[in-house]
């Protein structure tokens, strides 16, 4: 119901496209709002389930075109919560960063022929991440 309300034309649906995972897991899910005036969706959204998640967490990404700029991949996730789930949260962030690193420089999946390669990728969301976890993950993921 909350997603339907968000996407309703009188609320945000008149200005934004609401992108959700193929199979939004409840009660936790993520969404990306794309400003129709500035962004054009290239291809279909990608949903990656975190296989060891005890809380049904996922990564959602979209490739967008912003006029005059190379394609951009935007991703969001709601990573595992609480201090006790730090190891899983780090795995989830590592998986996300590796995925994003892998799409940069590649043609956008499902985009029209001749579309330039992805120029950059970013992630945002409720990452629940601690400073020491970020340092450990960045050292491992980026190498």
The radius of gyration of the chain's CA atoms, rounded to the nearest angstrom, is 16
Q: Which residues contact 49 (CB under 8 A, 6 or more apart)?
A: 25, 57, 58
Three-class DSSP category at 36: coil
By C-alpha distance, which of 87, 82, 80 is closest to 54? 80
DSSP assigned state of 17: E
Q: Which residues contact 90 (CB under 8 A, 6 or more apart)?
A: 133, 136, 137
35 is catalytic: no
Q: Which of 17, 35, 84, 126 is catalytic?
A: 126
141/135 Cα distance (integer angstroms) = 10
DSSP assigned state of 143: -
Q: Annotated catalytic sites, by residue?
A: 126
């Amino acid at each position: 119901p909350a997603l339907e309300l968000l996407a309703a034309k009188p609320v945000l649906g008149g200005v934004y496209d609401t992108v959700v995972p193929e199979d939004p897991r409840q009660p936790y899910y993520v969404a990306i709002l794309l400003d129709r005036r500035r962004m054009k969706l290239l291809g279909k959204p990608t949903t990656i389930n975190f296989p060891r998640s005890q809380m049904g967490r996922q990564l959602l990404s979209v490739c967008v075109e912003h006029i005059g700029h190379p394609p951009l991949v935007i991703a969001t996730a709601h990573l595992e919560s609480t201090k006790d789930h730090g190891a899983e949260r780090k795995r989830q962030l590592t998986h996300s960063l590796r995925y994003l690193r892998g799409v940069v420089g590649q043609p956008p999946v499902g985009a029209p022929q001749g579309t330039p390669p992805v120029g950059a990728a970013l992630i945002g969301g409720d990452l629940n991440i601690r400073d020491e976890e970020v340092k450990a993950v960045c050292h491992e993921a980026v190498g």
